[in-house]
Amino acid sequence: MTLHVALIGYGTGGAVFHAPLIDSVPGLTLSAIVTSNPQRQKDALTRHPTAQILDTPERLWDTAASYDLAVITAPNRHHVPLAQAALHAGLPVVIDKPVAVTAAQARDLAALADERGLAAIPFHNRRWDGDFRTVRKLIGQGVLGDVQRLESRFERWRPAIKSGWKESADLADAGSILYDLGSHLIDQALSLFGPPTRVYAELDLRRPGALTHDDAFLALEHPGGTRSHLWMSATAAHLGPRFRVLGSRASYVTHGMDGQEAALRAGRTPRDEDWGRTPPKSYGLLGTPGDGRPVPTEPGAYQDFYIATAQALRGEAPPPVTMSDAVQGLGVIEAALRSAECSVVDLV
């Protein structure tokens, strides 16, 4: 059974991530692409000549019966209204992160999906990063012992501000680094250890002229005492470890970013034979001081999100990510915003 997918949005998210991932999964067909930008329409037609190019979402709703899934990767402020319109048109949805600006919006969207009897699936692809899959595997095997602290970083050196909605001060744009990179880091931590009982945050505007947070630190305390320390930054001139996981028996440390995003930007796809593979020189180190060994990194597998989504739509498996997961992650973001405003104690 072939599932016909309509992609709403053909910026970086649609063109670089979703379209090639959808194309790589047997049983999924990218049948429509919605974009009003003339140049993007041309690019979409060149790369996906069998897809119908539509200039407005309304044209998609008019022919919704021709499709089995709508994927929403428009700017953040449009996620909720587009997802609502798709659900009302009878289409299940995949929604890029963050699915909403607030947890309340995400809960309302989940309720609408339940009412319509349709799937609403957040796109948290970083669960399929090779390094994160390795962390999950090592924790599951028990080789680290009891995990005391997860340190996780998405850091970049981007001192110049680029124009666009991601630099907007309007909360409705959800443009800050907390919503952008933070959504990934928070989702990874919660998928390992569950929702936290406490949240502490430091949120800063570091670059001259910045209107929204570009440097942040979050500390989460999970049930059982595990702590997650999460860094996200556009102003890191020297990058820290991607992961440092400290356990009662051993630690695991790895540097550098998962290579799938760079590969997608270079035009490669999961159809390539060596997709998601990490070279041995970049393996993380497992052990204790003076007694460590490199551990092969699990293959990265963003395509598995869409494989699992197809299975869910066919009724063969649960969704790979749930709206409850998104609600919990947005709850942490909201708690971080409150913490950054009120947690400082002035000693003078």
Report how far Cα 186 is from the mean position of its chain's Cα atoms: 9
Please identify which residue in the block is written with the tokens 């709703």: 61
Instruction: Output the six-digit token pair for 254.
Output: 């790895």
Which CATH number characterizes residue 144's domain?
A: 3.30.360.10
Q: What would the mean pLDDT of 71-90 be, rounded to a whole number?
A: 97
Judged against a pLDDT cut of 60, whether residue 283 lies above it is answered with: yes
Say yes or no: 193 and 49 in one domain.
Answer: no
Is the same domain home to 81 and 202? Answer: no
200-243, pLDDT tens digit by residue? 999 999 999 999 999 999 999 999 999 999 999 999 999 999 99
Quick one: pLDDT at residue 343? 57
Taking 70 as the threshold, does the pLDDT of residue 20 lie above it?
A: yes
* DSSP helix/strand/coil, 328: helix
pLDDT at 342: 84
Quick one: 290 exposed, middle or buried, by C-beta within 10 A (0-12, 13-18, 19+)? exposed
184 falls within a domain: yes
Judge if 189 and 81 occupy the same domain: no
Does the pLDDT value for residue 151 go beyond 90? yes
Domain boundaries, position 284: 129-301
For range 9-28, the mean pLDDT: 97
- pLDDT at site 69: 98
Is there a single domain that holds both residue 103 and residue 136? no
Q: Evaluate whether residue 285 is within a structural domain.
A: yes
The reply to whether 208 and 224 lie within a common domain is yes
Place of tokens 């999100």: 305
- Give residue 163's pLDDT: 87
Tell me how far apart the alpha carbons of residues 150 and 188 are, in angstroms, rounded to a whole number.
Answer: 10
180 vs 164: CA distance, rounded Å:
13
- 233 and 137 part of one domain: yes
Position 277, amino acid: R
Q: Are residues 105 and 178 in the same domain?
A: no
In a domain, 337, yes or no: no
Please check whether residues 149 and 278 belong to one and the same domain. Answer: yes
Contact status, residue 321 vs residue 122, Cβ threshold 8 Å: yes
Tens-digit pLDDT profile for residues 89-108: 999 999 999 999 999 999 99
Let me know if residue 333 belongs to a domain: no
Strands 52-54, 28-34: pairing is parallel
DSSP per position, 186-241: HHHHHHHH-S-SEEEEEEE--STT--S--EEEEEEE-TTS-EEEEEEESB-SS---
Q: Quick check: is 148 in a domain?
A: yes
d(CA 241, CA 284): 10
Total domains in the chain come to 2
Average pLDDT over residues 66-70: 98
Residue 37 DSSP one-character state: -
Q: How does pLDDT run across 155-165, given as a tens digit for each residue?
A: 999 999 988 99
* In a domain? residue 12: yes
pLDDT over 80 (residue 284): yes
The residue count of the chain comes to 348
Structural contact between residues 216 and 183, judged by C-beta atoms closer than 8 angstroms = no
pLDDT tens digit sequence for 291-348: 999 999 999 999 999 999 999 999 999 999 999 999 999 999 999 999 998 855 555 5
- Angle between helices 177-193 and 323-342 in degrees, nearest 10: 120
For residues 135 and 276, state if they share a domain.
Answer: yes
pLDDT at 1: 84
Question: Does residue 234 share a domain with residue 145?
Answer: yes
* pLDDT 10s digits, 189-206: 999 999 999 999 999 999
pLDDT attached to residue 45: 96
The per-residue pLDDT for range 106-136, each reduced to its tens digit, is 999 999 999 999 999 999 999 999 999 999 9
Measured distance CA(123)–CA(100) in Å, rounded: 12
Q: CATH number, domain at 87?
A: 3.40.50.720
Specify the pLDDT at position 264. 98
Q: Is residue 324 part of a domain?
A: no
Question: Over 90: is that where the pLDDT of 147 sits?
Answer: yes
Round to whole Å and give the CA distance between 29 and 3: 6
What pairing do the DSSP bridges indicate for beta strands 198-204 and 215-221? Answer: antiparallel
* pTM assigned to the model: 0.96
Are 87 and 49 members of one domain?
yes
Asked whether residue 272 falls in the same domain as residue 237, the answer is yes
Report the percent of the chain where pLDDT is more than 70: 98
